[in-house]
């Protein structure tokens, strides 16, 4: 756990909602936040875009859709974003962290979000995507389209945090209406983004800086899940633990036990003490695997007096820091600035990078183990694509 | 008539295919014999186990002999190894004869010059195909009699590693007593089998998806503009599946063929999990359909993206107006056309051999595109009175002492 307090308070962060669902979620954040990160809404539907409260609005695919949306066709969403690629890069230039928030299943969110993530990534930002999967009642077609979009989004973002809406339905109770369920989804999405943003910008008992977040993001593989729990009053700690750990989003806690990496954010008022943080952490360590990489940070906000919220981001896959790509470590050393000379971590990286890669090859080449490898641009194509891209596959 | 039947042989990673063809009136090719045998001893398009490969080739040729009722002593060989690459070389000469303009001698001289490139010692030129003439930098179809000061020619050169070619020729010659009459790049053969002249004119990309390799051939403006190969194929998809779900290779192959999709189907009415029976060393289990789709999708879109990037680098990415034609055994995968359309952003289709008659099995399957196209290539050269290429001559003399 790193406790270096550096430039995190000045990290440039933007939150971009893609498509109708994504824009709605960002919208609900806008109404709760003051002095929050810059909010951007991107949509093909001009009318829906006009109604958002985001500071920046970008309509894409205008000639393609005549401003009428994609009609649920992800192909059109993708084309629209492709055409606007340069404007997208302009939006993200200079950003350190971009949250891409989207509801997968529809046309714009599914098709455009991967392109938006790629454009942000190419400008050098860390990209954390929050994506909801459709409710069952939205139909099998949307679900299939959403799954396809998820694969593509995983390809482009550093981390994709998945929120299966159907699980929220279970949480909302048997009588919940569709409208309530959607609002609940928006609220959870908003809180997820809010918690990470707070973590980076607010001073706490234990700080989690941007470099650590980036390391966690790049080392965690593919799809991640997240949960959120809050509590108020004297039982706030126990309530928040109960809600976060047994959230339906974590498959009632099962996902946590299978995770290789867990990011914990604790948000509280000035009355939050070390003892409370400790009891939260020991509850999490109690369910997590022994070898799991747990990173934690706290944020204190004056308006959160007597209130506490826990946000967990759990990933099933972790590759060692040594294996993370060159850029990560080079950037990390930059981040550390004057205290560390650039040469030291670079040297370490070279030594560390070769060995884990060898292990990876021997276990994951199957029938191509003994034949001349197919190397394209330095990548060993005999290793399955899903392993090289660190994408988790439903077994 | 008078032209003897020609035998086209492809020693592929998953199949050995031999076709016997005869040329009838008006250049129509009739396929009179066919032999195929599942391949072993070949990985990524190249022989690794000669004894097994020999048996497979012998079986396939034997079956072809039987159906065509001919004795096979000579074959034309398709080459599909992942080591095949192409480059465009420009030769330029000054034109000094101002009276007659460009002469036939000049054309021969520039052709020779454009053809001569220095390759690493382990590589040799497989095909050299003239593309575009330039007189004083202007494109012309035919340069004859132009009054100009320079003449240039762009030549597309396909080159391959010679040790693989040598090994194959040696195996056929020494162990099976079969002479290799000529060799050709498999991707080019496939294109000859499946394309119409209109497609070539409009610009088209042919992707041949084999078991061990994927080859591509691009035409732009009626001209053969680029070609290449990657040693990535259907075996990689199978291997990915085997590793993802920890199932034996045979089950992975089965999963790929019966349930595999390159892109999610909408709506998908199939049950979300596929049951697998128990096999020796593996308990019976079931695997997730969407997981299977993810594995296949990632691999196939990676292959397509490699090819897209390749042709974009060569500056012909935007010239494939007539679309993309997928052929080879791998082209039959469900959802592949949709995926290709998404990546190449142009209409895509499956290409099967066209304009052949005779054995129905051969004329209908995309995996026979290469050998069928090789027959067309061979007959074209035979009727065009083309000499045997010096490259092969030297190779053959190495083994025969001629």
Mutation target for A interface from B234, B248, B264: give the one with most A CBs within 10 A. B264
Determine how β-strand B123-135 pairs with β-strand B150-161. antiparallel
Q: Is the same domain home to B90 and B140?
A: yes
Residue B108 maps to which CATH number? 3.30.1490.110
The alpha carbon of A14 is separated from its chain's Cα centroid by a whole number of angstroms, namely 13
The alpha carbon of B274 is separated from its chain's Cα centroid by a whole number of angstroms, namely 34
Strands (E), chain A: 13-18, 38-43, 56-59, 97-103, 126-133, 159-164, 223-232, 261-268, 293-300, 307-315, 375-376, 379-380
Taking each helix axis from N to C end, the angle separating B289-313 and A140-156, rounded to the nearest 10 degrees, works out to: 50
Rounded Cα distance between A209 and A301, Å, is 17
Cα–Cα separations (whole angstroms), residue B49 to B41, B63, B78, B229: 4, 22, 19, 22
Q: Is the same domain home to B210 and B304?
A: yes
Q: Is the same domain home to B147 and B236?
A: no
Q: Is the same domain home to B148 and B287?
A: no
Neighbours of B380 (CB within 10 A): 13
| Residues of each domain in chain A carrying CATH 3.40.50.1440 | 9-201
Mean pLDDT of A329-346: 34
What residues of chain B lie within 8 A of the CB of A145, using their CB? 264, 266
Token digits for B255?
Answer: 């999963």
Q: What is the dihedral of CA A345, A350, A356, A358, to 10 degrees?
A: 180
- The ipTM value here is 0.85
Cα–Cα separations (whole angstroms), residue B11 to A69, A374, B54, B55, B223: 51, 20, 10, 12, 28
Contact across the interface for B43 and A371, Cβ inside 8 Å = yes
CATH code for the part of the protein at A9-201: 3.40.50.1440
Domain span at residue B142 reads 85-159
Give the confidence band of B2 by pLDDT, cuts at 50, 70, 90: low
Cβ contact B267:A141 at 8 Å: yes
pLDDT digits (tens, 9 = 90+) for A55-90: 788 888 877 777 777 777 888 888 888 888 888 988
Give the confidence band of A222 by pLDDT, cuts at 50, 70, 90: low
Q: Is the same domain home to B207 and B312?
A: yes
Helix (H) or strand (E) holding B158: strand B150-161
Mutation target for A interface from B273, B290, B346: give the one with most A CBs within 10 A. B290
Q: Is the same domain home to B340 and B237?
A: yes
The DSSP secondary structure of A70-128, one letter per residue, reads: -TT-HHHHHHHHHHTHHHHHHHHTT-SEEEEEEEBTBHHHHHHHHHHHHHHHHTT-EEE
Give the confidence band of A340 by pLDDT, cuts at 50, 70, 90: very low
If we measure between CA atoms, which residue out of B343, B332, B321, B320 comes closest to residue B367? Answer: B332
In a domain, B23, yes or no: no
Mean pLDDT of A211-230: 78
Cβ contact A91:A70 at 8 Å: no
The alpha carbon of B40 is separated from its chain's Cα centroid by a whole number of angstroms, namely 19
Mutation target for A interface from B83, B210, B213, B266: give the one with most A CBs within 10 A. B266
The fourth-level CATH superfamily of domain A223-315 is Tubulin/FtsZ, C-terminal domain (3.30.1330.20)
The DSSP secondary structure of A206-219, one letter per residue, reads: S---HHHHHHHHHH
If we measure between CA atoms, which residue out of A169, A58, A144, A150 comes closest to residue A103? Answer: A150
What residues of chain B lie within 8 A of the CB of A139, using their CB? 267
How far separated are the first and last CA of chain A, in Å rounded?
32
* Residue in B242, B267, B298 nearest the CB of A386: B298
pLDDT of residue B400: 43
The alpha carbon of B219 is separated from its chain's Cα centroid by a whole number of angstroms, namely 14
CB proximity A386 to B under 8 Å: yes
In a domain, B40, yes or no: no
Contact across the interface for B298 and A385, Cβ inside 8 Å = yes
Rounded Cα distance between B183 and B185, Å, is 7
The three-state secondary structure class of B189 is helix
In a domain, B297, yes or no: yes
Residue B337 maps to which CATH number? 3.30.420.40
If we measure between CA atoms, which residue out of B190, B189, B169, B165 comes closest to residue B179? Answer: B169
Q: Is the same domain home to B236 and B130?
A: no
Rounded Cα distance between A71 and A73, Å, is 6
Give chain A's radius of gyration (CA, Å).
21
Q: Is the same domain home to B148 and B208?
A: no
The three-state secondary structure class of A201 is helix
Residue A230 has pLDDT above 80, yes or no: yes
Contact across the interface for B267 and A387, Cβ inside 8 Å = no
Most confident of B14-28, B263-277, B293-307, B360-374: B293-307
Mean pLDDT of B38-46: 86
In a domain, B113, yes or no: yes
pLDDT digits (tens, 9 = 90+) for A29-59: 777 676 678 888 898 887 777 777 777 888 8
In a domain, B252, yes or no: yes
In a domain, B174, yes or no: no
Contact across the interface for B48 and A371, Cβ inside 8 Å = yes
Mean pLDDT of B221-250: 90
Q: Is the same domain home to B152 and B95?
A: yes
How many separate domains does chain B show? 2
CB proximity A64 to B under 8 Å: no
């Amino acid at each position: 756990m790193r406790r270096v307090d550096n430039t995190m308070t000045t990290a440039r962060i933007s939150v971009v909602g893609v498509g109708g669902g994504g824009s709605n979620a960002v919208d609900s954040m806008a109404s709760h936040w003051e002095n929050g990160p810059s909010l951007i809404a991107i949509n093909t539907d001009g009318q829906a875009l006009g109604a958002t409260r985001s500071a920046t609005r970008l309509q894409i695919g205008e000639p393609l859709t005549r401003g009428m949306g994609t009609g649920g066709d992800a192909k059109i969403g993708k084309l629209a974003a492709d055409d606007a690629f340069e404007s997208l890069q302009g939006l993200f230039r200079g950003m350190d962290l971009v949250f891409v928030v989207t509801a997968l299943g529809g046309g714009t969110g599914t098709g455009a979000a991967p392109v938006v993530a790629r454009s942000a990534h190419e400008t050098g930002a860390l990209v954390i995507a929050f994506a909801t999967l459709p409710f069952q009642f939205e139909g099998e077609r949307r679900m299939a389209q959403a799954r396809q979009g998820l694969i593509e989004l995983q390809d482009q973002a550093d981390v994709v945090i998945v929120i299966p809406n159907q699980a929220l339905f279970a949480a909302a109770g048997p009588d919940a209406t569709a409208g309530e369920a959607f609002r609940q989804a928006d609220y959870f999405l908003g809180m997820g983004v809010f918690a990470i943003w707070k973590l980076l910008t607010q001073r706490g008992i234990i700080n989690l800086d941007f470099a650590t977040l980036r390391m966690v993001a790049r080392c965690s593989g593919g799809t991640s899940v997240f949960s959120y729990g809050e509590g108020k009053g004297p039982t706030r700690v126990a309530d928040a633990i109960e809600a976060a750990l047994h959230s339906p989003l974590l498959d009632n806690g099962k996902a946590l036990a299978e995770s290789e990496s867990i990011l914990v954010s604790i948000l509280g008022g000035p009355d939050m003490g070390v003892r409370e943080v400790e009891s939260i952490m020991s509850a999490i360590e109690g369910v997590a695997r022994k070898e799991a990489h747990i990173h934690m940070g706290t944020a204190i906000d004056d308006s959160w007096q007597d209130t506490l919220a826990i946000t967990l981001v759990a990933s099933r896959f972790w590759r060692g820091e040594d294996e993370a790509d060159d850029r990560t470590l080079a950037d990390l050393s930059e981040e550390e600035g004057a205290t560390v000379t650039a040469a030291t971590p670079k040297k370490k990286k070279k030594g560390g990078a070769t060995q884990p890669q060898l292990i990876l090859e021997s276990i994951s080449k199957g029938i191509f183990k003994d034949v001349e490898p197919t190397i394209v641009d330095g990548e060993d194509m005999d290793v399955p694509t899903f392993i090289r891209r660190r994408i988790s596959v439903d077994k | 008539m008078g032209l003897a039947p020609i035998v086209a042989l492809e020693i592929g990673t998953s199949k050995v295919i031999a076709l016997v063809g005869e040329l009838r009136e008006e250049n129509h090719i009739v396929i009179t014999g066919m032999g195929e045998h599942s391949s072993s001893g070949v990985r990524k398009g190249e022989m690794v186990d000669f004894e097994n490969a020999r048996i497979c080739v012998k079986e396939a040729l034997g079956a072809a002999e039987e159906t065509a009722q001919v004795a096979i002593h000579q074959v034309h060989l398709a080459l599909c190894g992942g080591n095949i690459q192409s480059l465009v070389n420009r030769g330029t000469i000054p034109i000094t004869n101002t009276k007659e303009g460009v002469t036939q001698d000049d054309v021969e001289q520039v052709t020779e010059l454009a053809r001569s490139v220095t390759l690493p010692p382990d590589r040799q030129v497989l095909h050299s195909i003239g593309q575009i003439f330039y007189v004083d930098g202007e494109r012309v179809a035919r340069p004859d009699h132009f009054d100009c000061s320079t003449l240039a020619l762009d030549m597309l050169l396909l080159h391959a590693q010679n040790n693989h070619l040598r090994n194959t020729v040696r195996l056929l010659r020494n162990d099976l007593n079969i002479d290799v009459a000529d060799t050709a790049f498999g991707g080019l053969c496939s294109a000859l089998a499946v394309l119409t002249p209109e497609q070539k004119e409009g610009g088209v990309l042919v992707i041949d998806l084999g078991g061990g390799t994927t080859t591509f051939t691009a035409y732009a403006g009626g001209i053969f503009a680029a070609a290449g190969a990657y040693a990535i194929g259907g075996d990689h998809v199978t291997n990915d599946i085997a590793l993802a779900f920890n199932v034996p290779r045979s089950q992975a192959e089965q999963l790929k063929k019966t349930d595999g999709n390159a892109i999610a189907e909408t709506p998908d009415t199939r049950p979300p999990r596929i049951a697998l029976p128990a096999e020796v060393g593996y308990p019976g289990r079931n695997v997730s359909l969407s997981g299977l789709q993810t594995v296949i999708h990632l691999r196939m879109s990676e292959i397509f993206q490699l090819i897209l990037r390749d042709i974009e680098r060569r500056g012909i990415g935007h010239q494939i107006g007539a679309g993309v034609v997928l052929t080879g055994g791998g082209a039959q995968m469900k959802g592949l056309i949709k995926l290709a359309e998404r990546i190449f952003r142009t209409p895509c289709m499956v290409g099967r051999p066209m304009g052949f008659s005779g054995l129905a099995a051969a004329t209908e399957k995309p995996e026979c595109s290469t050998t069928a196209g090789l027959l067309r290539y061979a007959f074209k050269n035979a009727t065009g009175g083309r000499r045997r290429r010096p490259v092969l001559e030297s190779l053959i003399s190495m083994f025969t002492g001629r």
